[in-house]
Structure 1
C-alpha cells in the first residue's frame, strides 16, 4: 500500500517507517527534520515539511491509501498547539481528497482510558506531570473522532526501544500488569500496521499493553 507517515523522524516514527518498508509498503515520510530519519530505501520518499503548514499537509496527503500519525510534542511536558492544529489539517485534507484510513498514535493516559494504567501512573503521574501532553492528545483525538474518516486511535503506555516481542494485549477492558507499564516501539509499530487490514477497531480507540 501507499502509506504516508507524519512524525516520521521521531523515535516511534522511524521504527514505523522501517517496519512498513520491511513489509513491502511504499512509504512517504513527512518530516520537519529529515536528517533524523536515517533510513534509506528504494520504496521510501521523504517530504520535508511542517505539520503546521496547511498547504504542505494537503499536498502530502494526496495519492496515498492510508495515513499514520506518530506526531509528538516539540517540548516535553508542554502544550504544542502547532501539532494540534496540524492534526486538524490532516483530517481536513483527508476528508476533502482522501484517503479515508487514519491510524493515530495516542497515549494510554487520556481521560477515558487512564484507569487502565493503574493507580500510580493513571492516578498520580499522568494528571500531575503529563497533564499538558495528555490534554493535547485529548484535543487531537476529538478532532479525529468528530471526523468522517475511518480512524483507529492506538493508546500504548510509555514506549521503549528494543525489538518487537509480539507479547502484547489489546482491547478496552485490559489493565496494566505492572506499576510502570512499558511497551516497545517495535511492538506498537507492528500493531499499527496490522490495523491496515483489520476492521476490529475501525472508528474506535484501543489500548495496547504487555
Structure 2
C-alpha cells in the first residue's frame, strides 16, 4: 500500500512508519517544514505539507491508498480553530478532493468511554491538567464523526507513557477504555503501531473510535 503519513517524524509517527515498512508498504511522511530532528529511514519519502491546508492534503494524498495522521493533539493558545481541529478539517476536506477514502488517525484517550455513556473527559477521575487536551481531541473527533462519506477510524492509545516492552504482538482492541485486572492501562508504542497499521490494511473497524491495550 501507498500510505501518506502526517506527523511521521514524531515518536508515534516513527513507530507507525517503521511498522508499515516491515510489511512492505510505501511511506510518504508529511511535515509542515519538511525538516526532522533525527534521520528517517531512507525508504521514507519526506515532503512538506500542513494537514490543516486542505489543498496541500489533496495534492499529497493523490495516488495513495490511505492517509494516516499521527499529529499530536494540542490545545495551545486561543487560536480558533485550534491546530488540532484545523488539521482534522483539512484532512477531511483534502481527502474528499483527492477521492481517497481511508483515513486512520492517532487519537487521545480522553475521548474514550470508561463505562457506557461516560467518557473519560467527563469523568471526575480525569486529572485537570489533561482536560484541555481532551476537550480539543473531542472537538477533532467530532469533525471525523461528521465525515460519513470517508472510511475513517480514530485509534486511541489507552494513556501515556507507553509501556517499555517492545513489540510483543499481543494486544486487545476495544471501543472503550480497556482496564486490566490489576487496574493498569498500557501498551507499548511498537504494539500500538502494529494495531494502527492493522487498521490501515484491513479496515476492520470504520466510522468509530477504538483503543489498543494489553
- Is residue 153 of structure 2 the alignment partner of residue 149 of structure 1? no
**Deviation per residue, 1:139-181 (Å, 9 max, x gap):** 1111111111011111221242552112221123663114452
Q: Which ranges of structure 2 fall in alignment gaps of 5 or more residues?
A: none
* Stretches of 4+ aligned residues off by more than 6 angstroms: 75-80
Residue 175 of structure 1: aligned partner: 178
* 1:37 shift after superposition: 5.1
Contact 1:121 1:180 in 2 (8 A): no
Contact 1:108 1:157 in 2 (8 A): yes
- Is residue 197 of structure 2 the alignment partner of residue 193 of structure 1? yes
Contact 2:75 2:132 in 1 (8 A): no
**Per the alignment, in what secondary structure is the counterpart of residue 84 of structure 2?**
helix
Tell me how many residue pairs correspond in the alignment.
Answer: 206
Counterpart Cα distance in 2 of 1:39 and 1:158: 26
- Pair 88,167 (structure 1): closer, same or farther in 2 beyond 3 Å: same
Contact 1:153 1:206 in 2 (8 A): yes
TM-score relative to the length of structure 2: 0.83
- Is residue 53 of structure 2 the alignment partner of residue 53 of structure 1? yes
Aligned-pair Cα RMSD in Å: 2.8
Q: Which ranges of structure 1 fall in alignment gaps of 5 or more residues?
A: none
Contact 1:61 1:90 in 2 (8 A): no
Residue 9 of structure 1: aligned partner: 9
Counterpart Cα distance in 1 of 2:74 and 2:177: 31
Choose 60-69 or 47-56, whichever is displaced more: 47-56
Contact 2:157 2:192 in 1 (8 A): yes
TM-score relative to the length of structure 1: 0.84
